[in-house]
Amino acid sequence: MNKFEQLGLNESLLKAIGDLGFENPSEVQEKAIPTLLEKDTDIVALAQTGTGKTAAFGFPLIQKINPENRNTQALILSPTRELCLQITNEIKLYSKYVKGLHTVAVYGGASITEQAREVKRGAQIIVATPGRMQDMINRGLVDISKIDFCILDEADEMLNMGFYDDIVSILSTSPDEKSTWLFSATMPQEVARIAKEFMRKPLEITVGTKNSGSSTVSHEFYLVNARDRYEALKRLADANPDIFSVVFCRTKRDTQAVAEKLIEDGYNAAALHGDLSQAQRDGVMKSFRNRQIQMLVATDVAARGIDVDNVTHVINYQLPDEIETYNHRSGRTGRAGKLGTSIVIITKSELRKISAIERIIKQKFEEKTIPSGIEICEIQLFHLANRIKDVEVDHEIDSYLPAIEEVMKDLTKEELIKKMVSVEFNRFINYYKKNRDLSAQSAGNDRRDSSSPRPGDNGATRYFINIGSRDNYDWMSLKDFLRDTLGLGRDDVFKVDVKEGFSFFNTAPEHAETVMDILNSFTLQGRRINVEISKNDGYDKNSGRRDHNGRGGGFSPRGGGDRSSDRNARSERRGSGESFGRSGSRDGGSRDGGSRAPRRSDGFGGGNASRSSSREKRPRRS
């Protein structure tokens, strides 16, 4: 008997769950499903984003609905059109073996008459955004006077978006004796108020700690001068070749401006904000899901509905006005048990906000320095080497091989490797050779983790090691592993930076011999570990490459090359580290599959003013 059977779910649901590849229920599912199946109760369930709340209410709801009765029996309210469609889609997948069950999505920006028609045909479940729902009720196009269930999904976000009045008004047209299920990531006062005023003795389920951000997200900040914000953003992107990120700006204007600059500089970026038409926004989101966009620059409001798994980084290009919003931003990464990083690019005058956020998220930030040019070059170099190693060969090339071999025939293997890597690498080294460091001096030592050596503690030795996130390490676990393997003390290994297929770390120089000896003769799951001393020490300030004139230049060494194939490889590998397993992953199959198509610079549907210019200005491969 599998775990889902033990929860009391029926055959048709179990079959659908099997198709979805869900193997084990997540914690919130384990807690909510049996309770909701057994009892007619109100419930408040708090769990972080990405923990599977949709199925936690969706499964029991589907089992309790009577598909033979065509009346609307359940209303699910959700904050945005995106989420509304997502939930509808999930519910349809879950209920695909339940004959006669119809679910209809009701949301703004699409034909109201068409939606009304669908509802009229008989929809036992309506998934709606509050504004459109209110509209349909006012016009007499829907009837929720007989519903048995009302679900408030992502209640905190709905209230955050100012839907309180709509919700109250919608609920007033529904029967008193229904069950209300409230699902939320956090429990701010407005949510508590809804629970108190509109629910009867709700059971409370909490997964993880209340109000805290997701623990699969680590938080970092980078202190820079205000004028270097954009340059810092570019470096962070260059230092993370596989970045798949949401970049938050405060205003629509900044959002558009940053996106346009990134596009001009050759990044796969796009803007998402309220001045775009619905069709443009849909186009952008589609490209983002397909990973034709690696950096989605968004306002808070526009990003509310983003629930794309596998986002590697959330970047706070500017902090939000309300620090509570930080939680919503960082919740865009670290979903479905995957690890994510939330980055804040910050200036000295805003530094105190970091402690305020730490109190809210109940997690500490790590202060980091913007990677130096050398470090970025090294990262790109190893990344490139891995890409070459992992690339899938298209056999279309076979017929050209004899001719190509003829061209290369006088090169030794070593020469060939050197030249191949240089084709890409020269662009980076040329760009970064003339670039200064970006880190602003910290306001004092108060923000620094006093235990670890920092810039100024000269002479650390930095290493490159060929294990990384694909081996399921993050910086903390790698630090632990290194310390234990090397038999070093608590703070002897520092500045651990984990990339996909490799990582960097520092020790004091006197440990160098131990590090090289022990690690180079070590095997990890049958694989030889390779450690080398890196040329940079990980501290920009010591790199001796200050050149205050060589900044910017509007050119990024980034090409629009197809980095997707090894990202696919990574997301598949990463999958094994999920908190709840899924076989035959839908994500891995369809969503990521889309990115195997060659990258197109204009792949996002019309959402960007500078779309055409990006084609001209994209750095050319030389």
Give the footprint of ligand ADP on this chain (CB under 6 A).
Answer: 22, 24-26, 29, 47, 49-55, 307, 309, 335-336, 580, 582
50 binds, among ligand ADP, Mg ion, none (CB under 5 to 8 A by kind): ligand ADP
Helix (H, G, I), strand (E, B) or coil at 356: helix
Provide, rounded to whole angstroms, the least separation between the CB of residue 45 and ligand ADP: 9
Shortest reach from residue 582's CB to ligand ADP, in Å: 4
* Rounded least distance, CB 54 to Mg ion, Å: 5
Whether 332 contacts 343, CB under 8 Å:
no
**Residue closest to ligand ADP when measured from CB atoms:** 52
Q: Which long-range contacts (CB under 8 A, 24 or more apart) does 95-98 make?
A: 95/12, 95/13, 95/16, 95/62, 96/16, 96/19, 97/11, 97/12, 97/13, 97/15, 97/16, 98/12, 98/13, 98/62, 98/65, 98/67
Q: Which residue is nearest to Mg ion (CB)?
A: 53
* Closer residue to ligand ADP in complex, CB, 163/539: 163
580 binds, among Mg ion, ligand ADP, none (CB under 5 to 8 A by kind): ligand ADP
Pick 49 or 268: Cβ nearer ligand ADP: 49
Q: Is the dihedral of CA 297, 301, 307, 312 positive or negative?
A: positive
Tell me how far apart the alpha carbons of residues 344 and 229 are, in angstroms, rounded to a whole number: 10
Query: With respect to ligand ADP, which residue has the nearer C-beta, 230 or 580?
Result: 580
Distance, in Å, from the CA atom of 253 to the CA atom of 273, rounded to the nearest integer, reads 9
Element at 597 (helix H, strand E) = none
Q: Which does 52 bind (CB under 5 to 8 A by kind): ligand ADP, Mg ion, none?
A: ligand ADP
Nearest-approach distance from CB 576 to ligand ADP, in angstroms:
13
Burial 510-548 (b: 16+ CB within 10 A, else e): ebeeebeebbeeeeeeeeeeebbebebbbbbebbebeee
In 3-state terms, what secondary structure has residue 309?
coil
Instruction: List Cα–Cα distances, 571 to 180, 564, 574, 589, in angstroms.
Output: 37, 10, 5, 11
CB of 60 to ligand ADP, least distance (A): 14
Using the minimum distance from each CB to Mg ion, give the nearer residue, 76 or 344. 76
Considering only residues 45-64, where is the footprint of Mg ion by CB under 5 A?
A: 53
The site partner of 336 among ligand ADP, Mg ion, none (C-beta below 5 to 8 Å per kind) is: ligand ADP
Distance in angstroms (rounded) separating the CA atoms of residues 189 and 235: 39
Q: Which residue lies nearer to Mg ion by CB, 53 or 304?
A: 53
Reduced to 3 states (helix: H, G, I; strand: E, B; else coil), residue 30 is helix
Q: Which among ligand ADP, Mg ion, none contacts residue 309 (Cβ within 5 to 8 A by kind)?
A: ligand ADP
Q: Whole-number minimum distance, CB 469 to ligand ADP, in Å? A: 20
Minimum CB–partner distance for residue 184 and ligand ADP (Å): 10
State which residue, 26 or 290, has the beta carbon closest to ligand ADP.
Answer: 26
| CB closer to Mg ion out of 75 and 438 | 75
Q: Give the count of alpha carbons within 13 A of 1, CB side only.
A: 9
Residues 611 and 592: their CA atoms lie apart, in Å, by 24
- Residue 340 touches which of Mg ion, ligand ADP, none (CB < 5 to 8 A by kind)? none
- Contact in structure between 284 and 332 (CB atoms under 8 Å): no
Largest CA-CA distance found in the chain, in angstroms, rounded: 84
Q: How far apart are CA 379 and CA 141, in angstroms?
A: 58
For Mg ion, which is the closer residue by CB, 53 or 567?
53
Residue 185 Cβ, how far from ligand ADP at the closest point, in Å? 7
Spatial neighbors of 75 by CB under 8 A, at least 6 apart, are 125, 126, 128, 133, 144, 147, 149, 150, 151, 170, 174
- Supply the minimum distance, in Å, between the C-beta of residue 306 and Mg ion: 11
DSSP track, 533-547: E-SS-S-GGGG----
| CB closer to Mg ion, 53 vs 563 | 53
Per CB under 5 A, contacts with Mg ion among 309-368 are none
22 binds, among Mg ion, ligand ADP, none (CB under 5 to 8 A by kind): ligand ADP
Residue whose CB is less far from ligand ADP, 481 or 580: 580
Residue 574 sits in the site that holds Mg ion (CB under 5 A): no
Q: Which spans of this chain sit near Mg ion (rule: CB under 5 A)? A: 53
